[in-house]
Amino acid sequence: MSTPQERFTEMWHEQAPHVLAFARRHVGSEAANDVVAETFMVAWRRWNDVTDPPIAWLLLAARKVIQNRARTARRHRALEERVALLDGVASYAADSADTAITRREALEGLARLDEKHREALLLVSWDGLSNDQAAAVLGIKPATFRQRLSRARAALLQGSTPLGPGPLPIALKELS
């Protein structure tokens, strides 16, 4: 009886060309090899779930890999668009390279926040509204707004930006 590694290798040699053809039809030649590699990595991790014959299972796994890659690409494009949008409305504080880098980090952090938390921060810090005014603009209770703003600040300063120890970036000083 053959080992799981031998059976997997045999499956790879028999089925990889079919999975590659499927992937090429859906993502083109450039990304197809990555899809095949990810598909067989999933097959190895879930070896006990792979059916016999394995081709239908592998193509379903490849389809899910392709869908995940498409979602990731959409999220990446959306993040880039939000950063560009925020970059377009932000005013330039200074021309130094350090300020530009920190400004970019701040904008990327803002772009990673979901819409309601980002809007809470922007209403207070960029539009200059009080918490009560911002709550009225959003049509929510002031207590709800304060909670949303607090969560947005925590997310921005603790995990959403690659800021190390040290002073806050210029664009974030008024947020804290």
pLDDT by 10s per residue, the chain, length 176 = 789 899 999 999 999 999 999 999 999 999 999 999 999 999 999 999 999 899 999 999 999 999 999 998 888 888 888 777 777 666 544 444 455 557 677 778 778 888 888 888 888 887 778 899 889 888 999 999 999 999 988 887 776 443 333 333 444 444 44
pLDDT of residue 21: 94
Res 172: pLDDT: 45
Q: Which CATH number fits domain 4-78: 1.10.530, 1.10.1740, 1.20.120, 1.10.3210?
A: 1.10.1740
CATH topology of domain 92-173: Arc Repressor Mutant, subunit A (1.10.10)
Domain ranges (residues) in the chain = 4-78, 92-173
Looking at residue 164, what is its pLDDT? Answer: 34
DSSP class per residue in the chain? ---HHHHHHHHHHHHHHHHHHHHHHHHHHHHHHHHHHHHHHHHHHTGGG--SS-HHHHHHHHHHHHHHHHHHHHHHHHHHHHHHHHHHHSPP----HHHHHHHHHHHHHHHHS-HHHHHHHHHHHTS---HHHHHHHHTS-HHHHHHHHHHHHHHIIIIIS---SSSPPHHHHTT-
